[in-house]
Amino acid sequence: MADPKLAWPAKPKLLSTHVQRIDAPEKVTGRAKYTYDINRPGMIYGKIVRSPHPHARIVSIDLSAAEKAPGVKAVLEYSKAGAQVMYQGDPVAAVAADTEERALDAARLVKVEYEALPHLASVEQAMAENAPKVFTPANTRAGQSEETGDLEAGFKAAAHVIEATYATHVITHVCLETHGTVCEWDGDKLTAWVSTQGAHQCAQGFAQSLKIPQANVRVITQFMGGGFGSKFAPDSQGIICAQLAKIAKVPVKLMLDRKEEHLDSGNRPSATAKIRAGVSAEGMLTAFDARSWGTGGAGATSNFPLPYIYNFPNRKRQHTDVYINAGQQRAMRAPGHPQGCYLTEILMDELADRVKMDPVAFRIKNLPPKGPNAMWQDYFEMGAKRFGWDKRHPTGEGGSGSVKTGMGVSAHRWGGAGRGSRAHCDITSDGGVVVKCGTQDIGTGTRTLVTIVAAETLGLPVSAVKAEIGDTVYPFSGGSGGSTTAASVSPAIRHVTMKALDALFAKVAPTLGTTAENLVAEGGRVFVKGTPSKGLSWKDACKVIGTEPVSVDGEWQDGLSGSGTSGVQFAEASVDVETGIVKVTRILAIQDCGLIVSGLTAESQVYGGVIASINFALFEDRILDRSTGHMVNPNMEMYLLAGMSDVPKIDIVINNMPERGVIGIGEPPTVSTASAIANAVRNATGATIRSLPLHPHRVLAAIDQERAGGTN
């Protein structure tokens, strides 16, 4: 650590406590202005014309009728004749008109002639021997390949071998605030309100795509309605919006509609693996051999970690990316991990059964060595006790009625490790404190985190500090992805406020007849260390500042943050074997994230992660029609998500590890819930469901198969 006094306080007043979300009042009253809510004087509305075909060549684009339509102020060819569209929803052209309704009318008048080309609507179609060659150089691409140990020896040492295929499906991010932008030009300067996880990243993206200096671009993201990994760049809709605004010479709002959001704003790739795995008679994993594949849509990758967490000493894995004619994947909350976790954790329960071991004991036996970032053994043991794991019945003995209950367990890990944020702090003679950082709050509570760290450092209540974020006029901070924001921002805020405090102390010290290093700030006062009576209130202390404020810059410092988290989750579920309906009744989530900065919002993250994974397991599914390549549920009534009645009792334990520094918690809690649920369904019914989602017809099919001779 650069300066030992930056170390997080041993006895914090605010850190790790429950501080109310700073911007909650704005959000609950509707005063918070999201990008979708920005209404600028003279603003008009943009609409994108998209390909209805999964694969086609554009023969011609005719904008003339649209251009003459009522209220139309701008039309734009985004693609051009001769070019190919590679998925349903690929952008082709755009219009802007004075009302949304008229923009929609005009978009319908854009005449695009297509020559339909052969398309691939599924992984199976793309991998078929006689598949049309849609992608160059091929429909598949050999991905990662790894091999460790001696596979042959590993299988020789196995007393039991399981060979089966496991899979997870494609889901979309379903950000409630769709992707979109409001663009306003002032000469050659662009101001863009963007619903994004990366304001500074978007500024760079606009500058590069529009070929203007980045200094001419300002991006504002005060409030943002969910991104989950899908919102980092301006994307086509952002660039189109800026171009329409330039043509129309008035501000343009362009927000995707719900269908566009499903088709062209990212998704979680599918994952499939044909796995052969061995276990010794003593219950030690011996070998793992997997051929895996998945699709990230048209030309995008699909990799994921496999095997996950557990120690297979001899292993081999070969991955293949498969391209289909669907929108490209984007990072989605813990990219790759929910897939790798599911494929491994279902297998783990099957292997445990083969050696007649309890799933928790079996997992503990095959864990990598314990460490600060590998606390699974403790969490398994603590969780089993807390959850009542001893009441778990043998698999398949879920009761005599039609509704069976069962328990399952699963583990996960995540990295974190943010860095690079910068910040600015002003303290004025009226006692005001403003901390500025160009990060953004994507719903995780970053504004609250900035406020807590600043107030803690300055010995002030949170109400005395103003956090200003979500604007590229503030110092650089990176995109909010990979659970890195807390670890990147917190040290910068600690550093800048400590520097500001030092500067204040230097000014106040003569008044108090001491030197700066003898002063401390606590409880809203500045006083001589050890002599609280010899001091001033914060307000009085700041009076000595004078006209020129304390104004300092700070940045991320080594030693205040860390990386690597671990977690374990337990699930209890009931399964109606007549209808196939699965209900999750209880979840226990045990999670660490290093030093907890904001207790209340950290817990909310865990609740949110668990519920997102319940959605992944039981409800969500992007369904493409296998003939037309069209998504059949690009909405929110057929693309299912949990409602209030679907949410179980969720018990959370967050293990505070202040000695590790700030790490981040956005992603890890969403990794393993789905696997724990599927293992609970297996425990309840005896049927192994190796592919998600656990929709009723798939659950029934697995139960039928189990009755007919076993899913094993």
Residue 33 within binding range of another protein, rule CB under 8 A: yes
Minimal distance, residue 30 CB to another protein, in Å = 2
**Per-residue contact flags (x/-) with another protein for residues 206 to 245, judged by CB under 8 A:** -----------------xxxx-x-----------------
Residue 530 within binding range of another protein, rule CB under 8 A: no
Stretch near another protein under the rule CB under 8 A, chosen from 113-121, 159-167, 336-344, 638-646: 638-646
Q: Which of 6, 14, 15, 21 is close enough to bind another protein by CB under 8 A?
A: 21
Residue 12 within binding range of another protein, rule CB under 8 A: no
Residue 699 within binding range of another protein, rule CB under 8 A: no
Stretch near another protein under the rule CB under 8 A, chosen from 21-29, 236-244, 496-504, 699-707: 21-29
Residue 620 within binding range of another protein, rule CB under 8 A: no
Residue 607 within binding range of another protein, rule CB under 8 A: yes
Residue 389 within binding range of another protein, rule CB under 8 A: no
| Among the listed residues 120, 161, 178, the one whose alpha carbon sits nearest the alpha carbon of residue 289 | 161
Token pair belonging to 407: 């328990």
Q: Which 94-123 positions form the footprint of another protein (CB under 8 A)?
A: 99-101, 105, 108
| Among the listed residues 650, 617, 682, 652, the one whose alpha carbon sits nearest the alpha carbon of residue 407 | 682
Hunting for tokens 């909405």 — which residue is that?
Answer: 635
Stretch near another protein under the rule CB under 8 A, chosen from 384-392, 437-445, 543-551, 677-685: 437-445
Token pair belonging to 574: 């009931």
DSSP 8-state assignment for residue 651:
E
Q: Which of 12, 13, 17, 37 is close enough to bind another protein by CB under 8 A?
A: 37
Residue 619 within binding range of another protein, rule CB under 8 A: no
Q: In sequence order, which residues have a C-beta less than 8 Å from that of residue 701 and are 6 or more positions away?
A: none
Residue 36 within binding range of another protein, rule CB under 8 A: yes
Cis peptide before 693 (omega within 30 of 0): yes
Minimal distance, residue 603 CB to another protein, in Å = 8
Q: Which of 10, 215, 644, 708 is close enough to bind another protein by CB under 8 A?
A: 644
Which CB atom, from 506 or from 653, has the smaller least distance to another protein?
A: 653
| Among the listed residues 570, 574, 669, the one whose alpha carbon sits nearest the alpha carbon of residue 618 | 574
Which CB atom, from 355 or from 647, has the smaller least distance to another protein?
A: 647
Q: How many residues bind another protein (CB under 8 A)?
A: 59
Stretch near another protein under the rule CB under 8 A, chosen from 6-14, 85-93, 344-352, 600-608: 600-608
| Among the listed residues 461, 459, 466, 453, the one whose alpha carbon sits nearest the alpha carbon of residue 421 | 453
Measure the CA–CA gap between 619 and 61, rounded to whole angstroms. Answer: 39
4-10 own/partner pairs: CB under 8 Å, 24+ apart:
5/498, 6/491, 6/494, 6/495, 6/498, 6/557, 6/559, 6/560, 7/559, 7/560, 8/494, 8/560, 8/595, 8/658, 8/661, 9/456
End-to-end alpha carbon distance in the chain: 54
Minimal distance, residue 626 CB to another protein, in Å = 25
Which CB atom, from 229 or from 283, has the smaller least distance to another protein?
A: 229
Q: Which of 4, 29, 211, 371 is close enough to bind another protein by CB under 8 A?
A: 29
Could you tell me the CA-to-CA distances from 419 to 264, 436, 470 in Å, in that order? Answer: 30, 17, 18
CA angle, 672 as apex, 668 and 678 as ends, to 5°? 165
Q: Report whether 200 contacts 472 (CB < 8 A).
A: yes
Residue 434 within binding range of another protein, rule CB under 8 A: no
Residue 142 within binding range of another protein, rule CB under 8 A: no
Q: Report whether 407 contacts 396 (CB < 8 A).
A: no
Q: Which of 20, 145, 148, 579 is close enough to bind another protein by CB under 8 A?
A: 20
DSSP line for 448-473: HHHHHHHHHHHT--GGGEEEE-SBTT
Which CB atom, from 18 or from 80, has the smaller least distance to another protein?
A: 18
Which CB atom, from 511 or from 635, has the smaller least distance to another protein?
A: 635
Measure the CA–CA gap between 711 and 709, rounded to whole angstroms. Answer: 7
Q: Report whether 593 contacts 373 (CB < 8 A).
A: no
Which CB atom, from 26 or from 576, has the smaller least distance to another protein?
A: 26
**In 3-state terms, what secondary structure has residue 378?**
helix
**Per-residue contact flags (x/-) with another protein for residues 61 to 100, judged by CB under 8 A:** --------------------------------------xx
Stretch near another protein under the rule CB under 8 A, chosen from 16-24, 125-133, 300-308, 538-546: 16-24
Q: Which of 1, 2, 24, 81 is close enough to bind another protein by CB under 8 A?
A: 24
Could you tell me the CA-to-CA distances from 706 to 168, 351, 687, 700 in Å, in that order? Answer: 20, 17, 5, 10
Q: How many CB atoms lie within 10 A of CB 192?
A: 27
Minimal distance, residue 221 CB to another protein, in Å = 12
Binding site for another protein (CB under 8 A): 20-21, 23-34, 36-37, 39, 99-101, 105, 108, 174-178, 223-226, 228, 257-258, 442-445, 600-601, 603-605, 607-612, 635-637, 641-645, 647, 650
